[in-house]
Amino acid sequence: MFTESDMGKNLIFEDIKAKIGSVVTNLTRFLEGDNEDKTLLNEDKTLRKTISKMCPSLRCHLCFYYERIYRTYYRETVLPSLKNTHGKELLEKLYQRMINHKIMVSSLSEIFEDLNKFLADGSYMRSKKMSRSLPLQVLRDRRNRGTVIQNFEDLAMFSFREYLLLEINPESRVAVVNMIMEEREGVAIDSDLLKKVLDIYMQSGIGTVQVYEEHFEDFFLQQTASYYSHKASSWIQEYSCPEYMMKCEESLEKEKERVTRYLHSSTEPKLVEIMQNQLLFLGAKQFLDKGQSGCGALLRDDKKDDLSRMYRLYHAIPQVLEPVADVFRLHIATEGSVLIKEAEDSATSGIVEEQVLVRKIIDLHDKYMAYVTDCFQNHTLFHKSLKEAFEIFCNKKVAGKPSAELLATFLYNLFKKAANDKSNDDSALESTIYNVNDMELTKDIQRLYMGVAKPEVDFTATVLTLSSWPSYKTSPEPNLPVEMVKCTKAFDPFYKSITKSRKLNWAYSLGKCHVTGRFDAGSIELVVSTYQAAVLCVFNNAERLTFNEIIEQVKLDHEDLARVLHSLSCADYKILKKEPASKTISKTDSFEFNSKFTNKKQRIKVPLPTLDEPLIDKVVDEVVKDRPSAIEACLVKIMKEKKVLQFRQLIAECVERLSHLFKPEIKQIKKRIEKLMEKDYLIRDIDDANSFKYVA
């Protein structure tokens, strides 16, 4: 039953619909190109006033009618026009339909403006009448998407999405993905069109990305995974490891660029994850282990740029970065083991050249630490691999000696040299003025001698007082070559003639000679010590000499001659050939001039090996022996600062301060505390037996 009032309202509403229908008909004809006269879109202003009056009582019907306008237009006019349209043409028409949609919304805004108040409070979505009027699927979709319609523009966009976009989505998303696939293959596409179409998906979400994700992105990512899965299989077979990584890096950069140009920013992490999985993770083992171009080969050939690229690609994939770090560790361990093996092979009579071995190990560590910092960006995984690799080969023994002992010997010599250098520096300033004056006198004597004597060979005598000379080993006077003897004998009477108060003593071990060596490949100037020159000259009259024969002729002691022969036959410049060919000098060895010796330089300096003080074999024991004193010194320093400290705190503080030198044992610290108590440096606190006091 209808009341007279209801019937009156219905008649008015039917009249309103008729007038609105006239406007919509003209608008549709204009949008479809059947009428270009825009004046037909105008309606008398009384229509809006009438709708405004009816809104309180008929607003639900008006909202439904507003939505039905779009539903009818899209279903009956637009969708049929898009039938059998595909590819780029479909996307162009879809974009044009969005433009038409905005024109329609703008044209109807004047008429339905007062509906916004009703839509804003949400009663439209809760209306029972509207629920009965709308299809069940539409209501379900609204609830699932959580769509909030707050104005008639949102209601119009909802209709565009439900009755147009989602209807053609199976074709439109395929068209978009196909254009992207073409671009991946190097074909130029209209990226602006893709941007416009994908913006439609975003706008249809009415403030959310749900429509974009569900109806485009999911499909796009599936197709992308399939595309790069096929590419990975093809590229692994076709390219080397560095080339494959370049293709992967290039593809990643291009996909990120696509996101910037037309995809939504939320797609980038998902897209990158899929590419990493298809290109880098699934085929990692196959191409990392690839023959002559895999990870091991890159390390072997020092391909730092390629290794840096490998890290850039894999640093976000722990499952793959770990195998790379494993290869890194194995490669270093192999190289280090080779160094140990070479040292073992070259060691004779249990004597190891620890200076050479330790230096090589340090160089190896420096080399691969540069890889960790430069190529692998200081990643903790590669720091760990470097450490573990050195633990593998550094714990091996060389000629029965543990590596710790070799390292201790190396450091002993290093510190000894540093101490000597510092000592020399400290005393240098004190003697500088005196030495300068003495050297100036020497130069004057030399100029005077050369002008008077005119010796056959270029001869320079450096004459200093005994206190000015550096310390040196005194040895019996050797048998010098005839040319040298002539020079010294000529200089002696000359020097006595100009000074009466000084006695001249020759320090042959500090002398230096320039000797011309005539080899098969040409002459080379050799800068050698006086002793080295004396030994070389004996080979002018003999092709082959034994160790004892050389001693007999040169009159050097055993130690000096061994050093000289080692420098000439076992070091970098093998001017003499030695039998047997070992790294040590023995009394049974024999020597001959090496006429085949060659060098790129015209002048070379042949250094003598440094004199090492005898070391006790167990250097480690010596180091450990010094630790009690270090612990005591540390304890005293702590207690001086703290005055009173509990036992546990004292132990912890001592361990922390000494940890950069060594890790002291708790038992050692306890013993040192007891010793300090015996020496009256520490006493127990009367009030607290677990605390100690420092006795000043």
Instruction: Check if the beta carbon of residue 508 is closer than 8 Å to that of residue 480.
Output: yes
CA dihedral over 676, 680, 682, 685, signed as positive or negative: positive
Rounded to a whole number of angstroms, the distance between the first and last alpha carbons of the chain is 113
What's the mean per-residue pLDDT of the chain? 79
Instruction: Check if the beta carbon of residue 357 is closer than 8 Å to that of residue 406.
Output: yes
Coil, helix or strand at residue 168: helix
Q: How far apart are CA 259 and CA 630, in angstroms?
A: 63
Amino acid at 475: S
pTM above 0.75, yes or no: no
Q: How far apart are CA 694 and CA 696, in angstroms?
A: 6
Q: Is the pLDDT reported for residue 639 higher than 70?
A: yes
Q: How far apart are CA 531 and CA 568, in angstroms?
A: 11
Mean pLDDT within 185-194? 94
Query: Looking at residue 271, what is its pLDDT?
Result: 95
Instruction: Check if the beta carbon of residue 335 is closer than 8 Å to that of residue 343.
Output: no
Query: Looking at residue 439, what is its pLDDT?
Result: 45
Q: How far apart are CA 627 and CA 661, in angstroms?
A: 10
Query: Looking at residue 342, what is its pLDDT?
Result: 83
Q: Which two tokens stand for residue 355?
A: 């200076």
Which contacts qualify for 303-308: CB closer than 8 Å, 24 or more apart? 303/242, 304/371, 304/374, 304/375, 306/241, 306/242, 306/245, 307/371, 307/375, 307/376, 308/374, 308/375
Query: Which H/E stretch holds residue 106?
Result: helix 87-112
Place of tokens 């304890």: 635
Place of tokens 């612990």: 631
Mean pLDDT within 519-544? 89
pLDDT digits (tens, 9 = 90+) for 81-125: 888 889 999 999 999 999 999 988 888 877 777 666 655 555 545
Flag the least confident range among 60-69, 282-291, 590-599.
282-291
Flag the least confident range among 63-67, 158-162, 248-252, 363-367.
63-67
Domains and CATH numbers, the chain: 4-204 (no CATH), 284-401 (1.20.1310.10), 430-614 (3.30.230.130), 626-694 (1.10.10.10)
DSSP secondary structure letter of residue 376: S
Chain centroid offset of residue 248 CA: 19
Secondary structure of 627-680 as H, E, C letters: HHHHHHHHHHHHHHHHCEEEHHHHHHHHHHHHCCCCCCCHHHHHHHHHHHHHCC
Phi, psi torsion values for 621, nearest 5 degrees:
-65, -35
Flag the least confident range among 17-31, 120-134, 219-233.
120-134
Contacts of 172 (CB under 8 A, 6+ apart): 90, 91, 94, 165, 197
Query: Looking at residue 4, what is its pLDDT?
Result: 43
Is 516 exposed, middle or buried, given 0-12, 13-18 or 19+ CB atoms closer than 10 A? exposed
Place of tokens 């068209």: 175
Contacts of 393 (CB under 8 A, 6+ apart): 333, 336, 337, 339, 340
Flag the least confident range among 128-142, 143-157, 213-227.
128-142
Q: How far apart are CA 130 and CA 165, in angstroms?
A: 23
Q: How far apart are CA 336 and CA 223, in angstroms?
A: 48
CA atoms within 13 A on the CB side of 657: 17
Q: C-alpha distances in angstroms, 280 versus 242, 563, 620?
A: 13, 58, 49
Contacts of 324 (CB under 8 A, 6+ apart): 288, 295, 310, 311, 314
Identify which has the larger pLDDT, 150 or 568.
Answer: 568
Q: From 408, 414, 352, 397, select the one nearest 622 (Cα to Cα).
A: 408
Q: How far apart are CA 281 and CA 274, in angstroms?
A: 10
Query: Looking at residue 619, what is its pLDDT?
Result: 46
Place of tokens 């100037």: 525
Bond into 580 cis (ω within 30): yes
Place of tokens 């209801």: 6
Query: Looking at residue 49, what is its pLDDT?
Result: 64
Q: Is the pLDDT reported for residue 272 higher than 70?
A: yes
Secondary structure of 345-371 as H, E, C letters: HHCECCECCHHHHHHHHHHHHHHHHHH
Q: How far apart are CA 279 and CA 160, in angstroms?
A: 39
Q: How far apart are CA 679 and CA 676, in angstroms?
A: 5
Mean pLDDT within 167-183? 94
Query: Looking at residue 90, what is its pLDDT?
Result: 94
Q: Which two tokens stand for residue 135?
A: 């299809």
Q: Which two tokens stand for residue 584?
A: 């040590």
Q: Is the pLDDT reported for residue 517 higher than 70?
A: yes
pLDDT digits (tens, 9 = 90+) for 24-77: 787 888 888 766 555 444 555 566 666 666 655 566 677 778 888 889 899 988
Query: Looking at residue 434, what is its pLDDT?
Result: 41
Helices (H) and strands (E) in the chain, counts: 30, 9
Query: Looking at residue 136, what is its pLDDT?
Result: 42
pLDDT digits (tens, 9 = 90+) for 361-409: 889 999 999 999 999 999 999 999 999 998 888 888 777 777 767 777 7
Provide the 10 A C-beta neighbour count for residue 562.
19
Q: Is the pLDDT reported for residue 133 higher than 70?
A: no
Mean pLDDT within 329-356? 79
Contacts of 131 (CB under 8 A, 6+ apart): 139
Left, alpha or beta for 445 (phi > 0: left; psi -120 to 50: alpha)?
alpha
Q: How many residues does the chain have?
A: 696
Place of tokens 């306008």: 69
Mean pLDDT within 125-129? 49
Q: Which two tokens stand for residue 176?
A: 């978009």
Beta bridge partners of 683: 693
pLDDT digits (tens, 9 = 90+) for 296-339: 888 888 899 999 998 998 888 888 888 889 999 999 999 998 88
